[in-house]
Chains A and B, each alone.
Chain A
C-alpha cells in the first residue's frame, strides 16, 4: 500500500557568537563526530537529518550561520522561514552569554513571530574555565520564556535532546493541523453483505 510515511520538513537555525560551537553542535548531530580545530563559518550552510518524533518521520533542515559581527546584517535575512532557532553561547565566554540578549532581540526583529526558540549553553564539558554558571543560563531562559539546556558538542551531551525538544515543540504546535494517521490494521468484517451480493450476476 502506498503510504506516505513522512511529510514534514522543519527548518531550524543556529545562531550565536562566533566560536561558541554552533558548527560543532550541528556536526555532532548530523555526523556524530567532533573536531577541535576551529574553522570559522563564512556563510550559511545546512545539513539535513531525519528524526522520528511521536511516530512521525520529520526531516530537519538545519542551518548553521556565520557568527562574526560583520555578517550580522546579512545573516538576519536568513531568519525568516526558520521554524525553530537555537541560540548558542559558550559557558566559558562571558561575552557570548551577554550577547544572548542581543541575539534574542535580533530574532524579534527578523524572525517569524511564532518561531520556537531554545537557548544552549555549550561547552559544558569544560570545567576549569567556566565563566557562566548554569543558574544564570536558566535565569535568562526563564526571563524570556525560552527552554534552556547546557550542551557539549565534544562530550555529546544533550545534543540530540536539544534538537528533539525543539522539533517536538514545533511538531506540537502544528499537531492540531495535521490529519491523524489512519490505523494500519484492518480486520475484515465477516458480515455477509458485500461480497456475496457483489459477486453474483
Chain B
C-alpha cells in the first residue's frame, strides 16, 4: 500500500506528547464472524507499553482525524499475545488477551506482521525483566473510556466482546464513529474458503476463539480439594511417617502437590543430579497419603534437591490431560540446580493448572536475589511441548510453593521470639521480607497468600521443636510458603506440621477448595454444533450471489447481416464482490456460438451493484450456411460462472430467417421462387439432398446470381471501381430482402452495393466455388493455364457454370476498362479470394504467396478466350430470359 509509510506519522499525530508509537500495523479484527479493519499500534510512554486499537473512517487513513481509539490494552502482567498460524493457513491469527478480554486478529503473513508481533513480544519480555514496582499506566487514564485497565471495565468488555463489536460502558469516540460509518467494513473470509481450497485450517482459529468465548455455556464448575505441601528436608532421608503432614484432615483431598527442597545435599546430587533420596521420599509420600483416597502419580519432577510430585485421586485421573513438567536452575552461575524451580502443569477438565516448587536464594540480606530468582523462574520456565509454548502465567490456576527463603528482618531476635511465644503473628508478619516485597509489588504480583497463623518453620534443631541453638543462632523465619493465583480458589487451611522433626524446617501445607471448569459433553456438543452451524451459515451467506433478470433470452426474428442485441442485467445480491465470467462448456472452444457476442464476457460487480451485459446476435457468412442447412440453430446455453460460487445457465434462442445468402449454389438452382416462399423444412431438405422439389428442371446457375450480374451488366459496365468500393449496409439489406422475398420493384441499391451483394452471396456458401479439396491443386497449377482449365472443366456442374458465367461477365467489364478503369489483375485478386476461399480450418492460414497464386489462377480466365468452353446457352450475358 503506497500510503502505509505515512501511517506511523498519522498515528503519532493522534497520540499525546511523550507517547511514541513503536510499531504500527494493519490487521483485521475478527468480530464474531465478520472481519473488520483495524489499525494496531504499540505505544510507549516512559517504559510502559500499551496496545492501541484504532478504527479508521477510511482505509488507509489519511489524516489523524480519520482515527478513533477503540481500545487501549496495557501491556501488563496479564497481557498475552499468542500466534496461531496453522500449517496450511494463509493468514496469521494473533490472539491478544488481557484478563477476560480476548481479541482475535487476522494478519497477512510477512515481514511486517513478524516485526509487529516481535515488537509486542519484546515489550512483554521487557516487562518481565522489569525491576521495581510494576507499571501503573497513569498515562492511560485519559483513555479510560477505551481502556480496560481496571477490572470493572474488564468485565464489561468481556461480556460484550462475545459477539458484537463495541464496548458498551459509555459511548466512546470509537463507538460514535462506528455509528457514523454507514457501512462497516465487512470483508469476506478468504475466497479460498468458499472454494474449499484451504478447507478449514484457517477456520480452526475462529472456532477455537468462539468456543473459548462461550466457555460458560458448556461448562459447569466442580470443586476439587487440593493439598499443597512443601518441606525443606535438609538432605536427610525420611525418618518417620508423613501421615501427620499429608493426612491430617478428615476428608481425603482430590489432588496432592507435594514439594521438597534440599532432598540431597551431597556433591553427587549437585553435580550429577542423581540421588537415592528421590525414591525414598517418593515412597514415604505414597505411604503417608490419606487412607480415604486412592492416588495415582501423574507426574514427578526433580532438579537436584527440588522435587515436586503431583498425585491425583483415581476417580479424577481420566480428566487429567496434557501433563508436562519443566525445571529452571537459578543457582551458581545463574543456572545450577541447587536453587531454582520445578513445575508441573496439567489440565484438569477444562481448567489449566500449574504447580511450581521453588527454592530461592538463601541468606538473610539477599531478598533481592530471591525476587530476582522468582522473576527468572517466571521468564525462563516454559512448557515447550506446546505450540505456542505455555509459561507459568498462561494458566487458569497457579500454586506456588517452596522454600522461598524470605526472612524476618529489621527486628531484634528477642522480639521475634517474644511475638512467636505470644502467637502474635500479625505483628510479626510486618517484618517478613516476603510480605514487604509483595506489598511493594516487587515479587509475586497477582498472587495471594493466606494469613499465617503458624510459627515460623525455620530454623529448628533437627529432631526437636527448639529454635536453632547453633553458634549462628539464626532468627526464626517463615521460609516455607504457599501462594496462589487464579479464579475460584478458596484457601481452607494454611499451617505447619511441627510434629515432623526430621529437618531444620517444619513442613507446611495449604488446603484449597478450587473450582475447575468441567465440560458438559452434551452442552459442549450443542454449542460446538451451533458454532459450526453459524460458521457454515456465514460461509454460505458469503458465497457470491447474483440474480439475472432473464435466463431465457429470445430474439424474435434474426436476419442475415442484421445485428440485434439484448441486455442482460446481472445484479450482485450477495454480500461479497463477485467476479463473473461466461465460461466454455464441455469441449467448446468459445463461451458461445459464433453468431453471438457477449460484452463484457468477464467482469466484476460490487455488492448491491449491477452490470449490464450486451448479448448481440449477428449472422454473417461464417454462420449463415450452418443455420440454413440446419447444422446449427439459433440456440445456445451460456454458462455464467461466478468465481468461487455457482453457475447460472442462460438460454439464448432466436428465429433465423433463412436467406439465399448462406445457401449452397446446388440448393439455389433448384428453387424457382424466392427463398422465403418455400417452407423452412423444404429448404433444409434441399440443402441436404440437393434435389429439386417435385422434379423441377434446375437452373444452370442460381437465379439470385443472375439477377445481380444481369443488373450490373446492364447498368454498371462503365462504373468505376466496381467490386473495389464497399456498398451501403442498408442497401445490402434491401437487396437481401428483394432477393429473398421477390418483388416486382426493380432491384434496389447502388451499383457498388449490388456488386458487394454478389461477392457476399458467393462468400457465404458453405463451400467456395472451387471446393476446398481442390484448392492446393489449383494453387499448384496457377502458373499454367492449361492445367487450370483442366481443373475448371472438372468442377461440379453448377460451380463450373457460376465460375465461367462470372468470368464472362468480368471479361465484359474489362472490355470497358478505358471507361471503368478496372484491370484484370485487380479483379483477379478480388475474385481469387472468393473463388478459392480459404478453409475455415485454422491450419489453412492465408499468406501473400497463396493470395498471389489464387489471383494468377483467376487471371488466366480473365485474359484468355473462353469461347471453346462447352457451356449452357443460358450463361450468355445479356437480355435473354
Q: Do A and B bind each other?
A: yes
**B250 contacts chain A at the CB level, 8 A cutoff:** no
Contact with B along A63-88 (1 / 0, CB 8 A): 00010001101100100000000000
Report how far A199 CA is from B308 CA in the complex, Å: 15
Report 25 cross-chain contacts, Cβ distance below 8 Å, ordered by A residue: A4-B204, A5-B200, A6-B200, A30-B540, A42-B648, A42-B650, A43-B646, A43-B648, A46-B543, A46-B645, A50-B200, A50-B532, A61-B196, A66-B649, A74-B585, A74-B649, A184-B322, A185-B322, A186-B321, A186-B324, A192-B302, A197-B273, A199-B327, A200-B271, A201-B271
Check if A7 sits within 8 Å of B199, measured CB to CB.
Answer: yes
Nearest first, the 8 closest Cβ-Cβ pairs linking A and B are: A200-B273, A45-B646, A188-B299, A43-B648, A190-B300, A188-B323, A199-B327, A44-B647
**A9 contacts chain B at the CB level, 8 A cutoff:** yes
Interface size of A in residues (CB-CB distance below 8 Å): 43
Check if A199 sits within 8 Å of B303, measured CB to CB.
Answer: yes
Check if B337 sits within 8 Å of A9, measured CB to CB.
Answer: no
Which of chain A's residues have a CB closer than 8 A to the CB of B273? 196-197, 199-200
Counting chain A CB atoms within 10 Å of each CB, the highest count among B200, B204, B337, B637 belongs to: B200
Which of chain A's residues have a CB closer than 8 A to the CB of B303? 195-196, 199-200
Counting chain B CB atoms within 10 Å of each CB, the highest count among A4, A50, A70 belongs to: A50
Check if B86 sits within 8 Å of A77, measured CB to CB.
Answer: no
**B201 contacts chain A at the CB level, 8 A cutoff:** yes
Known: A6-B199, A43-B647, A46-B646. A199 touches B637 (CB 8 A): no
Q: Which residues of A contact B (CB under 8 A)?
A: 1-9, 11, 30-31, 42-50, 57, 59, 61, 66, 70-71, 73-74, 77, 184-188, 190, 192, 195-197, 199-201
Contact with A along B314-355 (1 / 0, CB 8 A): 000000111111010100000011000000100000000000
Check if B278 sits within 8 Å of A192, measured CB to CB.
Answer: yes
Report how far A78 CA is from B68 CA in the complex, Å: 50
Which of chain A's residues have a CB closer than 8 A to the CB of B410? none
**B386 contacts chain A at the CB level, 8 A cutoff:** yes
Check if B637 sits within 8 Å of A70, measured CB to CB.
Answer: yes
Chain A: minimal CB distance from B272 (Å): 7
Q: Which of B294-322 contact A (CB under 8 A)?
A: 297-304, 320-322
Which of chain B's residues have a CB closer than 8 A to the CB of A201? 271, 336
Q: Give the interface size class of chain B.
A: 35 or more
Given contacts A2-B387, A7-B201, A46-B646, 10 further A-B contacts (CB under 8 A): A1-B387, A2-B86, A7-B200, A43-B647, A44-B647, A50-B535, A57-B532, A185-B321, A187-B323, A196-B302
Check if B649 sits within 8 Å of A59, measured CB to CB.
Answer: no
A-B contact count (CB 8 A): 126
Report how far A50 CA is from B87 CA in the complex, Å: 21
Q: Which of B270-296 contact A (CB under 8 A)?
A: 271-274, 278
Chain B: minimal CB distance from A49 (Å): 5
Check if B649 sits within 8 Å of A5, measured CB to CB.
Answer: no
**B870 contacts chain A at the CB level, 8 A cutoff:** no
Check if B272 sits within 8 Å of A49, measured CB to CB.
Answer: no
Report how far A6 CA is from B86 CA in the complex, Å: 12
Chain B: minimal CB distance from A175 (Å): 18
* Complex partner residue of A50 from B536, B640, B647, B649, CB under 8 angstroms: B536
Check if B322 sits within 8 Å of A1, measured CB to CB.
Answer: yes
Known: A185-B321, A200-B337. A73 touches B586 (CB 8 A): yes
Known: A4-B87, A188-B299. A195 touches B536 (CB 8 A): no
Report how far A3 CA is from B337 CA in the complex, Å: 34
**B639 contacts chain A at the CB level, 8 A cutoff:** yes
Which of chain A's residues have a CB closer than 8 A to the CB of B532? 50, 57
- Across the interface, name the chain B residue whose C-beta is closest to A30: B540
Chain A: minimal CB distance from B279 (Å): 8
Which of chain A's residues have a CB closer than 8 A to the CB of B539? 48
Report how far A45 CA is from B322 CA in the complex, Å: 44
Which of chain A's residues have a CB closer than 8 A to the CB of B207? 5
**B688 contacts chain A at the CB level, 8 A cutoff:** no
Which of chain B's residues have a CB closer than 8 A to the CB of A71? 637, 649
Report how far A146 CA is from B228 CA in the complex, Å: 63
- Across the interface, name the chain B residue whose C-beta is closest to A4: B201
* Complex partner residue of B274 from A4, A44, A196, CB under 8 angstroms: A196
- Across the interface, name the chain A residue whose C-beta is closest to B85: A2
Report how far A187 CA is from B318 CA in the complex, Å: 10
Report how far A66 CA is from B649 CA in the complex, Å: 9
Chain B: minimal CB distance from A124 (Å): 26
**B513 contacts chain A at the CB level, 8 A cutoff:** no
Contact with A along B371-388 (1 / 0, CB 8 A): 000000000000000110
Chain B: minimal CB distance from A44 (Å): 4
Check if A190 sits within 8 Å of B304, measured CB to CB.
Answer: no
Chain B: minimal CB distance from A28 (Å): 14
Check if B204 sits within 8 Å of A5, measured CB to CB.
Answer: yes
* Complex partner residue of B551 from A2, A11, A42, A187, CB under 8 angstroms: A42
Report how far A7 CA is from B336 CA in the complex, Å: 46
- Across the interface, name the chain B residue whose C-beta is closest to A73: B586
Check if A190 sits within 8 Å of B297, measured CB to CB.
Answer: yes
Which of chain A's residues have a CB closer than 8 A to the CB of B298? 187-188
Which of chain B's residues have a CB closer than 8 A to the CB of A190? 297, 299-300
Report how far A73 CA is from B637 CA in the complex, Å: 10
Check if B536 sits within 8 Å of A30, measured CB to CB.
Answer: yes
Which of chain B's residues have a CB closer than 8 A to the CB of A184? 321-322
Chain A: minimal CB distance from B113 (Å): 17
Check if B200 sits within 8 Å of A59, measured CB to CB.
Answer: yes
Which of chain A's residues have a CB closer than 8 A to the CB of B337? 199-200
**B851 contacts chain A at the CB level, 8 A cutoff:** no
**B651 contacts chain A at the CB level, 8 A cutoff:** yes
Check if B196 sits within 8 Å of A9, measured CB to CB.
Answer: yes
* Complex partner residue of B649 from A43, A47, A48, A197, CB under 8 angstroms: A43
Report how far A195 CA is from B535 CA in the complex, Å: 43
* Complex partner residue of A48 from B271, B304, B540, B648, CB under 8 angstroms: B540
Chain B: minimal CB distance from A197 (Å): 6
Report how far A59 CA is from B539 CA in the complex, Å: 11
Report how far A57 CA is from B201 CA in the complex, Å: 12
**B396 contacts chain A at the CB level, 8 A cutoff:** no
Report how far A59 CA is from B532 CA in the complex, Å: 10
Chain B: minimal CB distance from A60 (Å): 9
Check if A195 sits within 8 Å of B199, measured CB to CB.
Answer: no
Report how far A190 CA is from B539 CA in the complex, Å: 47
Which of chain B's residues have a CB closer than 8 A to the CB of A42? 551, 648-650
Contact with A along B247-287 (1 / 0, CB 8 A): 00000000000000000000000011110001000000000
**B461 contacts chain A at the CB level, 8 A cutoff:** no
Q: Which of B611-670 contact A (CB under 8 A)?
A: 637, 639-640, 645-651
Check if A9 sits within 8 Å of B321, measured CB to CB.
Answer: no
Report how far A187 CA is from B319 CA in the complex, Å: 11
Report how far A2 CA is from B207 CA in the complex, Å: 12
